[in-house]
Amino acid sequence: MNHVRSYSSDNSAQYEKSNSNSSLTKNANGGSMGSSPIFRATSNSNIEERKSSMGMDKSKSRSLLHSLTNLTTINLSSIPNLTTALPPTPAMHWKKIDASGKAPPRCLRGHTMCMIDEKIYIFGGCDNKVCYNDLYVFDADTSWWMHCGDGPTYYNDLYILDTQTLTWYKPNVGGDIPGARRAHAMWTYNKKIYIFAGGDGSRALNDVYALSISPPSSSFYNNTISSVVAENSPRFRSSTITGVTGDSRSPIIGSLSDRGSVISGGGNSNNNTLTKSMARNTVIGNSSTTTSNNNNNNNTPTLLDYIYTWTHINTTGKSPSPRGYHTSNIVGSKVIVFGGSDGHECFNDIHILDLKTNHWSRIDADQPIPRLSHSSTQVGSYLFIIGGHDGMKYSRDVLLLNLVTMNWETRKVYGKVPSGRGYHTAVLYDSRIYVFGGYDGHHVFNEMYALELSACAYLPQITDFEVAEMVE
């Protein structure tokens, strides 16, 4: 019997079970297995008890099997809150698309439809009375309808808001004027206003322009000053301006008139949209002289007398790919550009433009975090990235980008957290970040939230630091 021990544990158990009667008999008769610890406590009386127990177990098993079999006769409709008409999740099912847009198509029949990229084009057709030659475009990604010829209009206008008199001005501009666009980013540096990238309705952009503002020439006395009327107010716009705190005049440059709004982004008080020196030169003692009078009796230059000139900036290095809905933050002489989208991909890259050399460089962070339509607010040596879309869903996260190490960090945030959203705005004031509005794919918000920095309230005081080394 020694060969039994060469079996595996499973084979050994089967062997011992199949030969239990002979083994146990030998054990009872004092055979060679009598010293085995497995059989040491075994006796004839124990064997009978085990057989009886096994018989009871078999009886219980048959009873349980019979009960389970009878479950098939239960009327499922008698169970409360059980709906048998619902298909299982993997099954095919119909779903009505909740579309949006300013011009959904009329009721049509006999029309044609084709798909190009992510857009569905519908042409012609008729209703019960009239045939049409209209063209409708449906964006399958955003469920947005557009009537061709009645789509969104893009602008490249420059407007100035006097925040003391709440009066809009539309000055004349010259130079190499940038094309109409939306979803661009903006910052100020060295008495100039810069814009970067955006989209013009047909493609994403990655160009850089600068607007210089010069004092009027000596001949300005003979110029006719345009009257300021209500029609000068800009249409609803969508842009991001970095650095407008503490300024008395704020320009709004270009953008989309539909589904947009006037947006002023966050920034440092040192980075005024128009310089403080210009603001002092243009502030008029009597506000009535800056409103609707065509004649400048005081011979004092007004906002409309200054010279506004655009220049296309030629950069070196590898520029970021064309994009919109990104953010830009000016830190010293460097602009940090993060995220955005070209309409197809949500970006996670970080780029830096050195405004002293107009050279682009790329930054390698410790991990890729894709974002578009987020907000980015500088708080000392950190950028606070709030919300936005990550390519899959709208986020409610608060992420911190350490500008010294270029590592992403998180902090535990308590309180009533805003729901996930993008296309909102955020500014820093004192030890709070104010967040307003936004969109979550279904609803547009008019809420104002404040993120109390609390234990991080010291961060805005950190001003002496160097941005991390750049990677070409």
CA distance 186 to 205: 14
The whole-number pLDDT of residue 302 equals 83
pTM, entire model: 0.64
CA distance 335 to 293: 40
Sign of CA dihedral 54, 55, 56, 61: positive
Which residues lie below 8 Å from residue 134, measured CB to CB, with a gap of 6+? 105, 106, 123, 124, 147, 148
Residue 369 included in any domain: yes
Residue 457 included in any domain: no
**Which residues are registered as beta bridge partners of 471?**
362
DSSP state of 178: P
**Which residues are registered as beta bridge partners of 312?**
209
Residue 373 included in any domain: yes
- Lookup: tokens for 9: 């544990």
**Secondary structure (DSSP) of 372-388:** BS-EEEEETTEEEEE--
Please classify residue 322 by burial: count the beta carbons closer than 10 Å to its beta carbon, then call 0-12 exposed, 13-18 middle and 19+ buried.
middle
Residue 370 included in any domain: yes
CATH, residue 324: 2.120.10.80
Alpha-helix runs per DSSP H in 71-109: none
3-state helix vs strand vs coil in the chain, percent to 5: 20, 30, 50
DSSP state of 404: T
On whether the CB atoms of residues 165 and 300 are closer than 8 A, the answer is: no
Structure confidence by residue, pLDDT tens digits, 51-71 = 455 555 555 556 655 554 554
The whole-number pLDDT of residue 20 equals 43
The whole-number pLDDT of residue 119 equals 87
Which residues lie below 8 Å from residue 175, measured CB to CB, with a gap of 6+? 309, 310, 311
DSSP state of 231: G
**In angstroms, what CA-CA distances link 303 with 328, 341, 380?**
27, 36, 33
Residue with tokens 């243009």: 282
Structure confidence by residue, pLDDT tens digits, 163-182 = 888 889 999 999 999 999 99
Which residues lie below 8 Å from residue 263, measured CB to CB, with a gap of 6+? 237, 238, 239, 240, 241, 425
Residue 34 included in any domain: no
The whole-number pLDDT of residue 138 equals 87
Number of domains comprising the chain: 1
**In angstroms, what CA-CA distances link 317 with 192, 243, 328, 332, 438?**
22, 25, 18, 20, 34
Name the phi and psi angles at 394, rounded to 5.
Answer: -80, 140
Residue 42 included in any domain: no
SS3 239: coil
The whole-number pLDDT of residue 209 equals 98
**Which residues are registered as beta bridge partners of 394?**
389
- Lookup: tokens for 449: 């939230």
Which residues lie below 8 Å from residue 341, measured CB to CB, with a gap of 6+? 204, 323, 324, 325, 326, 347, 372, 373
Among residues 335, 339, 421, 336, the alpha carbon closest in space to that of 372 is found at: 339
Sign of CA dihedral 348, 354, 357, 362: negative
**In angstroms, what CA-CA distances link 7 with 11, 13, 35, 315?**
6, 9, 20, 78
Can you give the residue range of the structural domain that contains 412? 318-452
On whether the CB atoms of residues 339 and 345 are closer than 8 A, the answer is: no
Low-confidence ranges of the chain (pLDDT < 70): 1-89, 91-93, 102, 149-151, 218-299, 471-472
* Cβ atoms < 10 Å from Cβ of 423: 25
Residue 214 included in any domain: no
The whole-number pLDDT of residue 378 equals 96
Cα Rg of the chain, angstroms: 37
* Cβ atoms < 10 Å from Cβ of 280: 9
Name the phi and psi angles at 229, rounded to 5.
Answer: -125, 170
On whether the CB atoms of residues 328 and 185 are closer than 8 A, the answer is: yes
SS3 270: coil
- Lookup: tokens for 168: 């809009």
Please classify residue 94 by burial: count the beta carbons closer than 10 Å to its beta carbon, then call 0-12 exposed, 13-18 middle and 19+ buried.
exposed
In 176-290, DSSP assigns E strands to 185-189, 192-199, 204-214, 240-241, 249-256
CA 321-323-327 angle, 5° bins = 110
What is the number of alpha carbons within 13 Å of residue 304 lying toward its C-beta? 22
Please classify residue 65 by burial: count the beta carbons closer than 10 Å to its beta carbon, then call 0-12 exposed, 13-18 middle and 19+ buried.
exposed
On whether the CB atoms of residues 396 and 390 are closer than 8 A, the answer is: no
Residue 246 included in any domain: no
